């Protein structure tokens, strides 16, 4: 049974168009133009095994233009993934595998959740970096166990997003030759022709980044084939294939129109389009058997490719048993026995005060010594954040095995690239910058949380105590902002000992990203002989100190403010007022504790409660209630020496004492 | 008294270096290299009047590389702004005009707060757009009252930021010939040579955007002079002047070193540098009288320039009295008598249900008819957000008077550009996109709040009820995230009538930006005869409905969930349980009401309280306390029809009823 490329392409087109029409929601125009390039890639080039979505050396395919999900599900179905025709029919319905935008974990074969524009592109850069990294670490002469491409499909919209520029510039700098972007250049976005907002020369721009740029008719199968070959052949540059396509191709009345971007074509127009493109089937969702048979060859092909690779891996295992064993551990993210054994001894109460960012720097270096698959970097602030792994090399084209990534001043791409590394597998990545710039990467942190990726997001300079840099560099709302994000653990340790525990949690927390928030200023190392153990952090919150008698008041602190809470507690005791001091470095960890524990720390009938945190107070009512007092920051920061700003904004033990007296009506 | 350029340049250099050294904080390296270009621009080109910082047609100067504030204050002081030598000596100290980063309003002559990289560049694009806009609206043949340049200084770091790429691409598309960027290309960032992360060809990239690109030795006075002339001469393209400079120029031991980026040079090295550059003064903070005299000529020059311009304005006033009068109103943002008179009649309870995004679309069109200085646009989602001003033209090089801006898919730059427009004066700008993408522009919204700018940030598709687009497009944490930002008013109206009131507030709120959050789905228009007036929104929260007898419970709702609260209130009444229903569309507006009012709406002794909002519940304890219940969303959204997702996530009147029963222990 022979089948034409065109027949296959039309099958993809009309499965997409029918799915959108049936859902009465989605994006029908672009699949009509993009189906040829997607088909050629999947049919002739993509190295994958639809029956083993976890095969290590598969090519990665990321549909950065996530709103074209209607085109992806047909590709997955036709090539034999665990996606049925019924899933396509159930496109955009509750419980279906055909999610509105492609979702990692929901749909087999989806390598990354996409939709927010540009995220997919940057994650693909991360995947291509991870590939080079594991290849550099594990490949040996004659044993190339890692050697795959990363393909990403991008659109005009994605090309306008800053994150794409950031990631593309870094990819060029890093010479990621195995990264190939197919750019669907159809000149149409929602508001009309891209001329109105996007007159730039994208090809020239990518050449400036150091990419190979290839321009073709994206609907010409032969041209696409040739371009991908050319892209594969260039080892030292990532490649951009600019595919000119026509939105709503074949639609007699809507071809080239922006209205087809996000609105179903309509039954009648679909019929006309099918007729025009020579699609003779009356039934919707038709899959000609010869098309299915042809595309399903991907299963056999993939199985064979994987078998050959498995054989290579076997040979590798024999030649390099230690490496192979370690590789397995990397992939399972298996922390070695005793990986954290030296951490507890790092800091003593007798040490000089130390900023938690500096403590973190010491901790991650200890971790890096024990955990070879721990790697990451900074958006040009490694020295300030203390985020450099000493003696671990720099990731770059001279040394892809380096474990320090210089992301450049590109916070947004940094976040998404870390997500891409985590998705690829083989590493636990971290990122770092100042806490105030966490805003720049918030969309990527959200994606990490949504996908449930293990990424450690390090942020230092965590409050108005930053001082001299002034309000632009002083976070206020960021802590509360992250606490609002689902499936994200935010931890703000109070001292070096809590920093150790925070890092243990971040390394063990596989199901979600962890945000680690560190001080710029030095903080005393708390004496864990007189105070409760810092391991209480693992439960999110714990009683760190208590006056001799039954408490009159609970003072809750986080980070640097825990020290004020402790000092206030002692001052109050001198006045005969008994305080309990609670350290609450992570709301999320605390809130999932059993009620018994939470009620033990914060007894429901003890309502005289005060919180103190150098950030937005709004929201702290969660713990202090309507009868308590939340000491916080209700305006932006200011310039001055850190300790001056801190004091001017009302952060002192005496202030806490005064507020307690007010609360207890004893002022 | 003659003075050499070099003497002036050295004065700027060493005021900066001495200031950093004295503060023991700041960035000394770059001013040593950048002082020549800054001096040439300020001495020979900048059109400004240091004694009238509000002169309408002054050139705008934005130091996007805000961490070089130490270089800006000397320029302001030397040219005669209200900045003293003592302010420079008090650099980075509490209460000084010499803020850590340049701060709008704090320091006379600072056009924009900068520091977070790239923001200044994008704001400058906004200023240049505003200049073209007011010029197109008000200039008349022979009467060119608007004709100024916008200069922006950018650095390697800023060039790496995505927001810069977004804004530069749009500036090229819009052919902003009066925008000139001096790019300090010193090849050094904090982590070292930019090679490690930034190998791109910036000039080529900007050519791709449609800019004129000029490369020079940035420390050669003649070259800088020639380049600025060339930039000014090109009317149809923005210009990028790539100024090669040497960081820490003149420092014998540290020239070219990354360590000088953000660390004081040290007393000894400063002495050596001064010696090397021929600076013979032993005293720190020396300003040779001839230098001061030379630079202070800016005052006379500026006064004369402004006088000539005032004369032109007088002639304009005579020739075009109506236009001149309207211009005055634009600049004062004077809303015309009755500007909102037709708004109240827009919606009736008898109307069909209407999404608040659609109601907003109708409201802004009414406003636009009455308020000519109201303008804005969308990041390629105008049709979905309903953010198009009909019959108001498109802003572009064919028509700079157009009032609809096509920002392209560039949320981050959109926010900063709107800030730049607001800073320039002459318009109240708005932006728009989906609420979930508010994350992309969060850093710019923060800047608007920090500067206290009147910008309306419109966000639609405000909850999991978005449905078919799935979790990437369903906001959960964004509402709470914005509530945490200081000096920002967030409003989520419940229906069309509250939408009207929300827009009134946004138009009247001059001291801070307003975030407006609208539903995708249709919502009934509330019957304001049986319910309290929507004008209650102006106080942030109000009792919208109350059962016949003294309430047993308070149900608080916002946005679409107010309708559930109302329905639940009625269902409960049928069961003999009396509810008060409170609409709380804006926490910020409510929280600044007098305590009496707040206690009237939420009596302190009424603790049976329930909130219902389709977003993060964490934080609602602010109003429901430890004894209440907050119905919200604690995980990410999902794909499905909007009403299905909504119901699956527990949003129904019956759920509210059940929770009330549970709260009152009557289940």
**Minimal C-alpha gap between A26 and chain B (Å):** 8
B484 contacts chain A (CB < 8 A):
yes
Nearest to B169 among A172, A200, A406 (CB): A200
The C-alpha atoms of residue B60 and residue A373 are separated, in whole angstroms, by: 50
**Minimal C-alpha gap between B324 and chain A (Å):** 31
Q: Which of residues 594-613 of B touch A (CB under 8 A)?
A: 604, 607
Chain A interface mutation, best of B72, B184, B197, highest count of A Cβ atoms under 10 Å? B197
Q: What is the pLDDT of residues B199-246, one digit of tens each?
A: 999 999 999 999 999 999 999 999 999 999 999 999 999 999 999 999
Whether residue B133 has pLDDT greater than 90: yes
B476 contacts chain A (CB < 8 A):
yes
Would you tell me how many other CB atoms lie within 10 Å of the CB of residue A266?
14
Cβ–Cβ gap B199/A205 under 8 Å: no
The C-alpha atoms of residue A111 and residue A128 are separated, in whole angstroms, by: 13
Q: Give contacts of B409 with chain A, Cβ < 8 Å.
A: 117, 156-158, 160-161, 189
Chain B interface mutation, best of A88, A98, A104, A160, highest count of B Cβ atoms under 10 Å? A160
Q: Which residues contact B140 (CB under 8 A, 6 or more apart)?
A: B316, B319, B320, B323
Q: Which residue of A has its CA nearest to B609?
A: A626
Helix axis angle, B5-23 to B267-276, nearest 10°: 180
B164 contacts chain A (CB < 8 A):
yes
Q: Give contacts of A402 with chain B, Cβ < 8 Å.
A: none
The C-alpha atoms of residue A200 and residue B624 are separated, in whole angstroms, by: 52
Cβ–Cβ gap B484/A481 under 8 Å: yes
Q: Tell me how many helices (H) and strands (E) chain B has.
A: 24, 18
**Minimal C-alpha gap between A587 and chain B (Å):** 10
Q: Give contacts of A408 with chain B, Cβ < 8 Å.
A: 160, 189, 194, 197-198
A342 contacts chain B (CB < 8 A):
no
Cα B89-B93-B98 angle, rounded to 5 deg? 60
Whether residue B562 has pLDDT greater than 60: yes
How is residue A210 annotated by DSSP? T
Helix axis angle, B29-40 to B221-233, nearest 10°: 60
Would you tell me how many other CB atoms lie within 10 Å of the CB of residue B592?
12
The C-alpha atoms of residue B513 and residue A196 are separated, in whole angstroms, by: 27
Q: Give contacts of A632 with chain B, Cβ < 8 Å.
A: none
Cβ–Cβ gap A94/B26 under 8 Å: no
Backbone angles phi, psi at A407, to 5 degrees: -75, -15
Average pLDDT, integer, range B59-78: 97
Q: Which residue of A has its CA nearest to B25?
A: A468
Q: How confident is the model at residue B261 (pLDDT cuts 50, 70, 90)?
A: confident
B372 contacts chain A (CB < 8 A):
no
Beta bridge pairs of residue A489: A514
Q: Which residue of B has its CA nearest to A379?
A: B191
Q: Which of residues 241-300 of B touch A (CB under 8 A)?
A: 262
Q: What is the pLDDT of residues B377-425, one digit of tens each?
A: 999 999 999 999 999 999 999 999 999 999 999 999 999 999 999 999 9
Cβ–Cβ gap A472/B116 under 8 Å: yes
Supply the pLDDT for residue A194.
Answer: 86
**Minimal C-alpha gap between B529 and chain A (Å):** 33
Are B180 and B216 in contact, with CB atoms under 8 Å apart? no
A141 contacts chain B (CB < 8 A):
no
Are B573 and B657 in contact, with CB atoms under 8 Å apart? no
Q: Give contacts of B197 with chain A, Cβ < 8 Å.
A: 170, 173, 380, 406-408, 410
Cβ–Cβ gap A208/B200 under 8 Å: yes
Length of chain B: 667
Residue A267 CB burial class (10 angstroms; 0-12, 13-18, ≥19): exposed
Cβ–Cβ gap B197/A636 under 8 Å: no
Supply the pLDDT for residue B667.
Answer: 63
Nearest to A96 among B380, B407, B639 (CB): B639
Cβ–Cβ gap B436/A116 under 8 Å: yes
Spatial CA neighbour of B179 closest among B201, B210, B205: B210
Cβ–Cβ gap A481/B486 under 8 Å: no
Catalytic residue IDs of B: 411
Give per-residue burial for B149-158: e unless 16+ CB within 10 Å, then b.
bbbbbbbbbb
**Torsion angle in degrees (nearest 10) through CA of B638, B639, B644, B648:** -20
B154 contacts chain A (CB < 8 A):
no
Average pLDDT, integer, range B169-198: 93
- Cα atoms in the 13 Å half-sphere on the side-chain side of A306: 18
Cβ–Cβ gap B644/A94 under 8 Å: yes
The first and second tokens of residue A388, run together, are 């450099």
The C-alpha atoms of residue B215 and residue B54 are separated, in whole angstroms, by: 33
Are B148 and B60 in contact, with CB atoms under 8 Å apart? yes
The first and second tokens of residue A527, run together, are 């004496």
Q: Which of residues 555-594 of A touch B (CB under 8 A)?
A: 587
Are A45 and A101 in contact, with CB atoms under 8 Å apart? no
The C-alpha atoms of residue B269 and residue B254 are separated, in whole angstroms, by: 8
Cβ–Cβ gap A409/B157 under 8 Å: yes
Cβ–Cβ gap B173/A472 under 8 Å: no
Cβ–Cβ gap B383/A191 under 8 Å: yes
The C-alpha atoms of residue A91 and residue B124 are separated, in whole angstroms, by: 44
Q: Which residue of B has its CA nearest to A114?
A: B472
Q: Which residues contact B386 (CB under 8 A, 6 or more apart)?
A: B357, B358, B360, B361, B362, B460
Q: Which of residues 644-663 of B touch A (CB under 8 A)?
A: 644-645, 648
B202 contacts chain A (CB < 8 A):
yes
Q: Which residue of B has its CA nearest to A118?
A: B409
Nearest to B484 among A381, A467, A477 (CB): A477
Q: Taking the CA atoms of A190, A195, A200 and A204 in sequence, report the sign of the dihedral they define.
A: positive
**Minimal C-alpha gap between A170 and chain B (Å):** 6
Q: Which of residues 403-432 of B touch A (CB under 8 A)?
A: 406-410, 412-413
Supply the pLDDT for residue A667.
Answer: 63
Cβ–Cβ gap A636/B409 under 8 Å: no
- Residue reference for tokens 């991008």: A154
Q: Give contacts of A616 with chain B, Cβ < 8 Å.
A: 484, 486
Tell me the pTM: 0.98
Nearest to A618 among B117, B162, B622 (CB): B622
Low-confidence ranges of chain A (pLDDT < 50): none
Q: Which is the catalytic residue, given A411, A498, A501, A588?
A: A411
Cβ–Cβ gap B101/A618 under 8 Å: no
Supply the pLDDT for residue A381.
Answer: 96
Beta bridge pairs of residue B303: none
Cβ–Cβ gap B196/A634 under 8 Å: no
Cβ–Cβ gap B468/A96 under 8 Å: no
The C-alpha atoms of residue B595 and residue B375 are separated, in whole angstroms, by: 37
The first and second tokens of residue B609, run together, are 């309280």
């Amino acid at each position: 049974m022979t089948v034409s490329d065109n027949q296959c392409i039309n099958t993809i087109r009309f499965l997409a168009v029918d799915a959108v029409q049936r859902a009465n929601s989605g994006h029908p125009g672009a699949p009509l133009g993009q189906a040829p390039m997607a088909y050629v890639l999947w049919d002739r080039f993509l190295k994958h095994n639809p029956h083993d979505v976890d095969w290590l050396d598969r090519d990665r395919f990321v549909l950065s233009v996530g709103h074209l999900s209607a085109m992806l599900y047909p590709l997955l179905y036709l090539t034999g993934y665990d996606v049925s025709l019924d899933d396509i029919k159930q496109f955009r319905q509750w419980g279906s595998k055909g999610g509105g935008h492609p979702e990692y974990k929901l749909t087999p074969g989806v390598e990354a959740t996409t939709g927010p524009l540009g995220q997919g592109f940057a994650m693909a850069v991360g995947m291509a970096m991870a590939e080079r990294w594991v290849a550099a670490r594990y490949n040996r002469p004659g044993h190339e166990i890692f050697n795959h491409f990363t393909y990403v499909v991008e659109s005009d919209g994605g090309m306008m997003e800053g994150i794409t520029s950031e990631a593309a510039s870094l990819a060029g700098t890093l010479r990621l030759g195995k990264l190939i972007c197919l750019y669907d250049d159809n000149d149409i976005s929602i508001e009309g022709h891209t001329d109105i907002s996007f007159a730039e020369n994208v090809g020239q721009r990518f050449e400036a980044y150091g990419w190979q740029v290839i321009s073709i008719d994206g609907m010409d199968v032969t041209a696409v084939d040739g371009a991908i070959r050319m892209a594969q052949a260039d080892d030292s540059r990532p490649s951009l294939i600019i595919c000119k396509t026509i939105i709503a191709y074949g639609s007699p009345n809507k071809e080239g129109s922006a209205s087809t971007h996000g609105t179903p074509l309509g039954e009648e127009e679909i019929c006309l389009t099918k007729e025009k493109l020579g699609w003779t089937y009356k039934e919707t969702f038709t899959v000609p058997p010869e098309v299915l048979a042809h595309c399903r060859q991907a299963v056999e092909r993939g199985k064979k490719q994987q078998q050959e690779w498995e054989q290579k891996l076997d040979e590798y295992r024999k030649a390099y048993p230690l490496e192979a064993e370690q590789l397995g551990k990397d992939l399972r993210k298996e922390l070695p026995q005793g990986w954290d054994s030296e951490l507890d001894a790092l800091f003593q109460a007798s040490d000089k005060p130390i900023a938690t960012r500096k403590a973190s720097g010491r901790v991650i270096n200890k971790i890096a010594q024990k955990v070879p698959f721990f790697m990451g970097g900074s958006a040009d602030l490694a020295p300030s954040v203390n985020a450099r792994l000493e003696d671990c090399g720099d990731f770059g084209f001279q040394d892809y095995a380096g474990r320090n990534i210089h992301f450049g001043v590109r916070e947004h791409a940094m976040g998404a690239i870390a997500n891409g590394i985590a998705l690829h597998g083989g590493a636990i990545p971290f990122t770092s910058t100042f806490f105030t710039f966490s805003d720049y990467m918030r969309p990527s942190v959200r994606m990490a949380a949504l996908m449930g990726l293990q990424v450690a997001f390090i942020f230092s300079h965590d409050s108005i105590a930053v001082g001299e840099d002034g309000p632009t560099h002083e976070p206020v709302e960021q802590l509360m902002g992250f606490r609002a994000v689902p499936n994200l653990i935010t931890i703000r340790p109070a001292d070096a000992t809590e920093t150790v525990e925070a890092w243990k949690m971040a390394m063990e927390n596989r199901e979600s990203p962890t945000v680690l928030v560190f001080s710029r200023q030095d903080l005393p190392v708390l004496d864990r002989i007189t105070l409760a153990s810092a391991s209480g952090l693992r439960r999110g919150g714990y009683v760190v100190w208590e006056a001799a008698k039954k408490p009159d008041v609970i003072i809750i602190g986080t980070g640097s403010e825990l020290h004020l809470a402790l000092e206030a507690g002692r001052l109050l005791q001198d006045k005969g007022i008994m305080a309990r001091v609670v350290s609450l470095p992570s709301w999320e960890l605390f809130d999932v504790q059993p009620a018994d524990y939470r009620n033990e720390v914060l007894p429901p009938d003890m309502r005289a409660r005060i919180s103190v945190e150098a950030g937005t107070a709004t929201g702290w009512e969660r713990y202090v209630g309507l009868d308590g007092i939340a000491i916080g920051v209700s305006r932006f920061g200011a310039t001055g020496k850190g300790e001056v700003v801190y004091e001017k904004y009302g952060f002192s033990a005496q202030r806490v004492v005064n507020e307690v007296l007010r609360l207890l009506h004893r002022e």
